[in-house]
Amino acid sequence: MPLSNASASRLLVENMSLLKTLSFDNGVLDLACGSGRNGLLLARDNIHVTFADCDRGKLGLLAGELRDQGLEGVCWQVDLETTSSDPLSHKWFDLVLVFNYL
C-alpha cells in the first residue's frame, strides 16, 4: 500500500512551501529512513533523495514503492553504528532528514 503525504512528518509537511524555494543540487539524505515516508514526500516534488537505512528489507520495499510511483531515488544500505569507517565521507547533501532515530 503506497504511503501518502499524510504519512510524512507534520514538521516536514508544514515546511514544504519553504523547502520548495530552495535549490537541492546535491540532493537530500533521508537517514534512518525506514519506510521512506519523509523522503517520498520530497521525491514526489522531484527532489533527488538518497534513502539510507540498515534494514535491507525496508529498502527493498521502498525501492518497489519508488518504482511503482515512477519516482527517482537511491536506496543505500548502511549501518552507521557498526562501521569502522565513515561512509558519509566524500558525500554531499543539501539537506539531511533524521526523524525518530534513537
What is residue 22's DSSP assignment?
S
What torsion, rounded to 10 degrees, do the Cα atoms 23, 25, 26, 32 define? 40
Q: Which domains does the chain have, with CATH numbers?
A: 26-97 (3.40.50.150)
pLDDT tens-digit series, residues 40-81: 999 999 999 999 999 999 999 999 999 999 999 999 999 888
What is residue 101's DSSP assignment?
-
pLDDT tens-digit series, residues 76-98: 999 888 767 788 888 999 999 99
